[in-house]
Amino acid sequence: MNPSDSTEQQQSESGGDGPSAAPALATAAESQGQHMLQRAQQLSRWFVLAEKAIAGLFLLLIMISMGAQVFARYVFGSPFQWSEEVARLALIWMTFLSAAFVMAEGRHIAVDMISGRCGERGRLRMECFGYVLVAASCLLLMIGGVRFVWYVGKVASPALGVPKSWWYGAGMTGLFLMALHNLLDLYQVWITGQPIPRETQVDEEGFQLEMEQGE
């Protein structure tokens, strides 16, 4: 029997798994990676939209409670006892929810002194390191604060009678969401191999020129 005929027969018996199957497997892996990337991006957008919506409702609650307090004080001469606590509680939750979606959009104040001087590969590594560092810090603070939140849950606020865990729980929720956004961003960078594009908030050359002119 001819050796080439034997090789073809073995390939046909094994289902044709040869060099021609490698591109198909690579294409399937790439398609699965793109699907997972789209899922991560969609999940991040859903979280951002939910955080913005809830933060907006808390802002509306602050305005209503403060408006009702002013009206009751100057019209009826009898201010509410609960309006200040409602506004304070809503402000705390709004602050930490806003911190989460601001981080997801890359709009926190940052000083870029290293990654801007690195190449593309170095910038990618620095960005991944930043995501890991921030996510780990948020998770450590959250884990360390859970015990305290559980402890203060036995104490109620004077006017509303709301457990203090509702107040300090806002910080834990914000830390968890910030860690989640950083992990989602890290996954996107890992899949694409490129830094996540962000809107440039400050023109460095223009800012430096304005500083020189101001001097």
Reported as a single tens digit per residue, the pLDDT across 100-127 is 999 888 888 777 777 667 777 878 888 8
Inter-residue contact 127 to 204 (CB < 8 Å): no
Reported as a single tens digit per residue, the pLDDT across 10-39 is 444 444 455 555 666 556 556 666 777 788
How far is residue 63's CA from residue 79's CA, in Å, rounded to a whole number?
16
Produce one character per residue of 7-31: b if its CB has 16 or more CB atoms within 10 Å, e if not.
eeeeeeeeeeeeeeeeeeeeeeeee
pTM of the model: 0.73
195 burial (CB, 10 Å; 0-12 / 13-18 / 19+) is middle
How far is residue 148's CA from residue 150's CA, in Å, rounded to a whole number?
5
DSSP element (H, E) containing 168: helix 164-192
How far is residue 158's CA from residue 43's CA, in Å, rounded to a whole number?
39
44 burial (CB, 10 Å; 0-12 / 13-18 / 19+) is buried
- Decide: helix, strand or coil at residue 5: helix
How far is residue 11's CA from residue 18's CA, in Å, rounded to a whole number?
7
Share of the chain above pLDDT 90, in %: 31
Give the residue carrying structure tokens 């930490």: 96
Identity of residue 98: S
* Strand partners of residue 156: 163
Which two tokens mark 154? 């036995």
Q: Along the 215 residues of the chain, how does pLDDT read in single tens digits?
A: 444 454 444 444 444 455 555 666 556 556 666 777 788 888 889 999 999 999 999 999 999 999 998 888 888 888 888 888 999 999 999 999 999 999 888 888 777 777 667 777 878 888 888 899 999 999 999 998 988 898 888 888 887 888 888 899 999 999 999 999 999 999 888 888 777 766 654 444 544 545 555 55
> Domain residue spans in the chain?
24-197
